[in-house]
Amino acid sequence: MEYAYVNARIRAMKSRLLGRPFLEQLINKPDVDSIIADLERTTYREELERAGVQFSGINRIEVAIRNDLVRAFRAILGFIKGGEEENLLTLILQRWDVQNIKTILRGKKIHAPASEILDCLIPAGELGEAALTELVKQPDVKAIIDLLATWGVPYARPLTRNFKEYSETRDMLVLEYAIDTFYFEHALSILKSRDTEDNRIIREMLVTEIDINNLRTVFRVIRDRMDREEAKKFFMKGSSELDTETLYSMVKTGTLEGALKLLEPTSYRFLSAIPQEYVTAEKISAFEKELDRHLVRKGISQFLGDPLSIAIPIGYIWAKYAEVTNIRIIARCKQSGVPDKELREALINV
Amino acid sequence: MEQINPTRMELIRKNAQIKLAEQGRDLLRQKMDALIQEFFHIMESVSQSRDELERRADVAQHSLLIALAVDDPVTLKSASFATRRGVTLEIKGKNIMGVPVPIIEKKRFVKGLLERGYSILGVSGRIDEAAENFEAELDLIISLAETETSLRRIGSEIQMTRRRVNALEQVLIPELKRQAKYIEITIDEREREDLYRLKKVKKIIERKKKTQSPQL
């Protein structure tokens, strides 16, 4: 595949991303309608017009930015179609497949109407809208897993392995945990097979995500005073900086302060800057916000990497994700009358 | 008044009725005092719980807003599929001074990390916090439902008792007393008439005796 061509197109797409001044302009708008008016002057115009047929207000914005995100990711996949790079990028986008499969399984378990389940799907991954609709049409959890297996979707494997336990306990946690861990294990095992620069970039991003997921688990386990031994099984392997033992030691401290102290020698020492009041109140969302910002910043910083590598598409994916999240935060906060100061704090500042 | 028999038996009956009505009024007053005491006791806890509920609802709404803004409403709805289930509560009853009030089973709805039905790896802590805040709000709403229903029932019982006391005090007892008074007056009047008649007869007899005796 010609990286020079693909990355030039992606850089062109990046140039159309909304910068900080535009977000500031949106923050200064008095209501959702004026935010829509401003967004209609950007690349979101087409999706806003399409969403405007069915939705209005905040829903119109949310549907439009969600569809725009899906369209952008599909466009990138279209640029690199056919090569090894497509498989690598698909690994990143498969997180949406995991999320969609989990949503369908959850919906089927409670017999939610198909239309309600379909409304909650984001076809940004490998499974397109048609495939997801077909999955939603299945009568039950077993049929969904069978269909995934028939299509050769790798996520059918952990689901099939754990279905027996699920059918005995009727606990969706069994299947969800299996598919969540499989996503990272499967991706890392594929990346291990070849030692290229592209593989290294994707692996680095995935390992960061594993670390962040593990840290979130540690903080939540400490806050909920969960059984330490039980917590161990929720730690995902794959990171050398924060291995299972380190994570277990953090849990063993029993306090967030203790856990943060153990993070001092790692690259996650920035968490120590979280105000003490949040630490004392065990406000996990404050920790998550910092971790999310770290991940997004790391993703976007890939733009600074090798211009003839997968770093550019990866950087764009994260930049687009951050932009969409920031627009949603601004629109939601404006609709609910959240003060600007609080709104700015909620943003994924990049 | 015309229908009352102004007899001594009737007077005794009326006096007995007055005594009974006064006893009833005193008992109802005592019941009302006890109910008012209970009412204020519950009201204190209700107003505390209401304040707490308002605070909790604000926190829950705020956490929901943040979760919706950062995590996308579809992710939130997807997580809600995992946790969607009915709430069953056992409701028993007890009596406070004869007023039936409900006792709603104290079930804790705040769930643990693994009890919400979704994997913690795929759902953010923001959604967890929103869920936890709404679960805590549900706990408060249910406990408030019990105390508010008790308060409403005791309140209406106090009103009813007060109406009964007023009816006894303002209508029945004064009416009975008036009737007893009427009977007393009528009996006295009759006694006086009888006495006068007897005296008159006595005078006539004496006069007759006097007119007959000189002839003898």
**Sequential DSSP letters for A8-75:** HHHHHHHHTS--HHHHHHHHT-SSHHHHHHHHTTSTTHHHHHHHHTT--HHHHHHHHHHHHHHHHHHH
A95 to chain B, any CB pair closer than 8 A? The answer is no
Which amino acid type is present at position A261?
K
Instruction: Decide if A338 and B120 are in contact by the 8 Å CB cutoff.
Output: no
> Which of chain A's residues have a Cβ under 8 Å away from the Cβ of B84?
110, 112
> Nearest residue on chain B to A99, judged by CA atoms?
B122
Instruction: Decide if B68 and A332 are in contact by the 8 Å CB cutoff.
Output: yes
Domains contained in chain B, number: 1
User: In the prediction, which pLDDT does A9 show?
Assistant: 92
User: In the prediction, which pLDDT does A115 show?
Assistant: 92
Instruction: Decide if B124 and A216 are in contact by the 8 Å CB cutoff.
Output: yes
Instruction: Decide if B66 and A346 are in contact by the 8 Å CB cutoff.
Output: yes
Would B1 be classed as within a structural domain? no
Instruction: Decide if B128 and A348 are in contact by the 8 Å CB cutoff.
Output: no
Of B84, B114, B129, the CB nearest to A173: B114
The yes-or-no verdict on residue B215 having pLDDT over 70 is: no
**β B91-96/B99-104 pair status:** antiparallel
Low-confidence ranges of chain A (pLDDT < 50): none
- Give the number of other CB atoms < 10 A from CB of residue A195: 9
Instruction: Decide if A110 and B84 are in contact by the 8 Å CB cutoff.
Output: yes
> Nearest residue on chain A to B126, judged by CA atoms?
A285
A106 to chain B, any CB pair closer than 8 A? The answer is yes
The yes-or-no verdict on residue B24 having pLDDT over 80 is: yes
- Residue B27 C-alpha, separation from nearest chain A C-alpha, in angstroms: 53
The yes-or-no verdict on residue B2 having pLDDT over 80 is: no
Residue A105 near residue A140, CB atoms below 8 Å: no
Judged by DSSP in three states, A306 sits in coil
Inter-helix orientation angle B73-83/B8-71, to 10°:
130
Of A122, A180, A220, the CB nearest to B113: A220
Instruction: Decide if B121 and A236 are in contact by the 8 Å CB cutoff.
Output: yes
Which amino acid type is present at position A194?
R
Would B192 be classed as within a structural domain? yes
Q: Give residue limits of the domains in chain A.
A: 1-79+322-350
Asked casually if ipTM beats, i.e. exceeds, 0.90, the reply is no
Q: What is the mean pLDDT of residues B142-154?
A: 90
Q: Give the domain CATH number at B105.
A: 1.10.287.3240
Lowest mean pLDDT across A124-138, A172-186, B21-35, B81-95? B81-95
Q: How far is CA A206 from the centre of its chain?
A: 11
Which tens digits make up the pLDDT trace of B43-80?
888 888 889 999 999 999 999 998 999 888 999 999 98
Instruction: Decide if B72 and A284 are in contact by the 8 Å CB cutoff.
Output: no
Instruction: Decide if A217 and B120 are in contact by the 8 Å CB cutoff.
Output: yes
The stretches of A110-155 forming alpha helices (DSSP H) are 114-119, 129-137, 141-151
Judged by DSSP in three states, B40 sits in helix
> Which of chain A's residues have a Cβ under 8 Å away from the Cβ of B68?
332
- Residue B118 C-alpha, separation from nearest chain A C-alpha, in angstroms: 5
Domain assignment of residue B75, given as a range: 8-209
A214 to chain B, any CB pair closer than 8 A? The answer is no
Instruction: Decide if A288 and B118 are in contact by the 8 Å CB cutoff.
Output: no
Would B49 be classed as within a structural domain? yes
Q: In this complex, how many residue pairs, one in chain A and one in chain B, have their CB atoms less than 8 Å apart?
A: 114
Instruction: Decide if B69 and A328 are in contact by the 8 Å CB cutoff.
Output: yes
Would B216 be classed as within a structural domain? no
> Nearest residue on chain A to B77, judged by CA atoms?
A120
Of A117, A287, A336, the CB nearest to B65: A336
- Pick from A261, A259, A229: nearest CA to A247: A259
Q: What residues contact residue B30 under an 8 Å CB cut-off, 6+ apart?
A: none
Would B2 be classed as within a structural domain? no
**Which CATH code is given to the segment(s) A1-79+322-350?**
1.10.132.50
User: In the prediction, which pLDDT does B3 show?
Assistant: 80
- Residue A307 C-alpha, separation from nearest chain B C-alpha, in angstroms: 30
Q: What is the mean pLDDT of residues B3-18?
A: 92
- Residue A120 C-alpha, separation from nearest chain B C-alpha, in angstroms: 5
Which tens digits make up the pLDDT trace of B187-212?
999 999 999 999 999 999 999 998 88
> Which of chain B's residues have a Cβ under 8 Å away from the Cβ of A279?
none
Instruction: Decide if B120 and A220 are in contact by the 8 Å CB cutoff.
Output: yes
Instruction: Decide if B121 and A224 are in contact by the 8 Å CB cutoff.
Output: no
Instruction: Decide if A226 and B117 are in contact by the 8 Å CB cutoff.
Output: no
Residue B72 near residue A62, CB atoms below 8 Å: yes
- Residue A226 C-alpha, separation from nearest chain B C-alpha, in angstroms: 8
Residue A281 near residue B63, CB atoms below 8 Å: no
Q: pLDDT-derived band of residue B1, with 50, 70 and 90 as boundaries?
A: low
Of B72, B79, B84, the CB nearest to A328: B72
Would B214 be classed as within a structural domain? no
> Which of chain A's residues have a Cβ under 8 Å away from the Cβ of B118?
102, 106, 172-173, 176
Instruction: Decide if B65 and A333 are in contact by the 8 Å CB cutoff.
Output: yes
